[in-house]
Structure 1
Amino acid sequence: MGALIWLASYPKSGNTWMRSFLHNLFRGTEEPVHINEIADFCLGESSAHWYAARAGKPVSDLTEEELARLRPIVHRDFTTVFPDSVFVKTHNYLGEWCGVPLHSMDVTAGGIYVLRNPLDVVISVSHHFNKSIDESIEHLANEDTVAGDMETHVLEVHRSWSTHVRSWTQHPSPQLLVVRYEDLLHKPRKYFKQVANFLGLKPAPARLERAIRNSSFRALKNMEQKSGFKERPKEAESFFREGRSEQWREVLTPEQVRRIIADHHEQMERFGYIPEDYRDAVPVKAEPSNATG
């Protein structure tokens, strides 16, 4: 039996990229591992077939409470897939749902959390879920956000972007590595090496470089264009769209930028996501009163 290593993120923040990098790193092949083979390496926490097998019926027939009670059982089933570490993708926030933890810590060894600037996330969410930018801004701020078609995927509990980020990062732990999408993008050798070292790996420089190259945005997009990607939602034209940072400067209006900052300024401040030219959009904290009554 193995212990779970969660690969966690808010949707459209780099989870697939991280999974592809690790798959290529462990395989060590000259050619890129195909994106449709990711599931052979990393399990999906919300994949419905695990829950249906345990319930003995389609997950669409389960109540939310029944589904929540199944989660810890399914997580224990995950530990039987590989003898050592078992990587599991999750978009759930780190908390409870229907009174049951969304991640079972008694079978967990650790986790990697990838976060991305919400100013760019909102654009990717817009394309991924076929929403307008304004609808996507509301989506990121919605504490009731859940996703899942209850046929191929059970419900995922995302909450807002800020709640998601806070839940995973507010209590630093040596068992959890937090990494920014932008750092992986701009300094891949440094930060992907950090990921490998966190997992106890010391890959040769050539192997690390090859894994980075084989999981690059260009490589992933080429594979999707040639043979498709089974994780692409039906409403999206493509899963891998641009993969750049700072897209928001070309897409969002100043008013939209200010709305996002107003919604998420606390976590954006923590991770260096407040643009210098929008510092005035950060709400001013009220000074404590010195009145004695």
Structure 2
Amino acid sequence: MADILWLASYPKSGNTWVRAFLANLFANRPGPLDINELNRFLVSDQRVGEYETLTGKPYEEIDDEEVNRLRPQAQRMIAASRPDTLLCKTHSKIAVLKGSPTVEPSVTSGAVYVLRNPLDVAPSYADHFGIDLDTAIDYLCDPNNHIPRHDRLTFVYLGSWQEHAASWLDAPGLRRHFLRYEDLKSDPERSFAGLVRFLGLPLDRQRFQRALRFSSFGVLRRLEEQDGFVERSPNAERFFRQGRSGAWRELYTPAQVERLVEGCRDGMRRFGYLDADGRPVEGALPLAQTAGVQG
């Protein structure tokens, strides 16, 4: 059996951007890859085919309790679907739900974790899920937060923003690579080169530069405008919205900022989103000035 290298993040944190870079790197085409082909190169743990195979039932007849119980087997099937290490997108928090792990350790070879300032996550989260900003703030601070099943995608246990990050970045024995959205924005070449090295891939300069260009926000947004994007929520006008860091300053009331910071304070301080006085910063502090990541 092969194993899984997880590409993990809270929703609306840059997971799709990283997938687009990797897919363009793997495809190595002379032009940008169709964004609707991303799942050819990186699969999702929310897909339902494995559950239908395990139960012999259509997904509509499989309840969430059964999905939770079968998740380890489904992930072993995902791992077995390829002969070598498989990159798999997940939004799951590492946890045990009713005795069943959300991330099966026996097929896990490591993880890439993408983190974004929760003040920027919340407006994108609200747009994607068709809720208002106050509700999104509540969700990001809620230890019981989850994404309900929808279409042909399983439910996902998220937990709060800071618990989600800690579950991946503090998991004992997990080989991991940490990416902040803000670092990807400010220095994409350095950040993505670090990812390529972590994956053990050769750093062919021309191929790498093409993948960077073809996965830029402007290109991804243009491709969505031309061809649509299957991952766009029906609640949202577009998937690729602004792609900026710090846009939250134009959207929040002071009370909303205070409420989100209060609910995410420990994680925001740890990962460089608050200054020494506990105030939100523009972008993020250099990682050298933060508490850092274990392992």
| Structure 1 residue 189, shift from structure 2 partner | 0.7
| Structure 1 residue 176, shift from structure 2 partner | 0.6
CA–CA separation in structure 2 for the residues paired with 1:81 and 1:23: 18
Amino acid at match of 1:169: L
| Residue of structure 2 equivalent to 1:144 | 144
| Structure 1 residue 63, shift from structure 2 partner | 3.4
Assess if the C-alpha contact under 8 Å between 1:60 and 1:150 holds in 2: no
CA–CA separation in structure 2 for the residues paired with 1:267 and 1:236: 28
| Pairing of 1:60-75 with structure 2 (within 5 A) | 60-75=60-75
| Residue of structure 2 equivalent to 1:263 | 263
Change beyond 3 A, Cα 1:276–1:249: farther
| Structure 1 residue 152, shift from structure 2 partner | 0.6
Change beyond 3 A, Cα 1:185–1:255: same
Assess if the C-alpha contact under 8 Å between 2:269 and 2:275 holds in 1: no
Two-structure CA RMSD over aligned residues (Å): 1.8
| Residue of structure 2 equivalent to 1:187 | 187
Assess if the C-alpha contact under 8 Å between 1:114 and 1:181 holds in 2: yes
| Structure 1 residue 114, shift from structure 2 partner | 0.2
Deviations 1:123-179 (A, max 9, x none): 101111121111111111122211133541111101111111111112475711111
| Residue of structure 2 equivalent to 1:18 | 18
Asked if 1:242 is matched to 2:242, the reply is yes
Classify the secondary structure of the residue corresponding to 1:236.
coil
| Residue of structure 1 equivalent to 2:219 | 219
Amino acid at match of 2:28: G
Amino acid at match of 1:67: V
Classify the secondary structure of the residue corresponding to 2:8.
strand
Aligned length: 281
| Structure 1 residue 99, shift from structure 2 partner | 1.3
- Which structure has the greater CA radius of gyration? 1
CA–CA separation in structure 2 for the residues paired with 1:250 and 1:30: 38
Change beyond 3 A, Cα 1:57–1:151: farther
| Structure 1 residue 106, shift from structure 2 partner | 0.7
CA–CA separation in structure 1 for the residues paired with 2:133 and 2:277: 21
Change beyond 3 A, Cα 1:171–1:57: closer
| Pairing of 1:1-293 with structure 2 (within 5 A) | 1-171=1-171, 175-275=175-275, 279=279
Assess if the C-alpha contact under 8 Å between 2:149 and 2:156 holds in 1: no
CA–CA separation in structure 1 for the residues paired with 2:250 and 2:166: 28
Assess if the C-alpha contact under 8 Å between 2:35 and 2:223 holds in 1: yes
Deviations 1:221-272 (A, max 9, x none): 1111111100111111111101110111111122111111100010001110
Assess if the C-alpha contact under 8 Å between 2:2 and 2:80 holds in 1: yes
Assess if the C-alpha contact under 8 Å between 1:35 and 1:220 holds in 2: yes
Deviations 1:2-59 (A, max 9, x none): 2101000000001111111111111221211111001111111011222122211133
Change beyond 3 A, Cα 1:133–1:95: same
Change beyond 3 A, Cα 1:153–1:271: same
| Residue of structure 2 equivalent to 1:283 | none
TM (norm. structure 1) is 0.91
CA–CA separation in structure 2 for the residues paired with 1:148 and 1:24: 30
CA–CA separation in structure 2 for the residues paired with 1:252 and 1:180: 22
| Structure 1 residue 103, shift from structure 2 partner | 0.8
CA–CA separation in structure 2 for the residues paired with 1:278 and 1:174: 30
Classify the secondary structure of the residue corresponding to 1:263.
helix
Assess if the C-alpha contact under 8 Å between 2:111 and 2:174 holds in 1: no
| Residue of structure 1 equivalent to 2:290 | none
Change beyond 3 A, Cα 1:213–1:196: same
CA–CA separation in structure 2 for the residues paired with 1:81 and 1:105: 17
| Structure 1 residue 65, shift from structure 2 partner | 2.9
Assess if the C-alpha contact under 8 Å between 1:58 and 1:151 holds in 2: no
Identity between Structure 1 and Structure 2 (%): 40
CA–CA separation in structure 2 for the residues paired with 1:128 and 1:56: 32
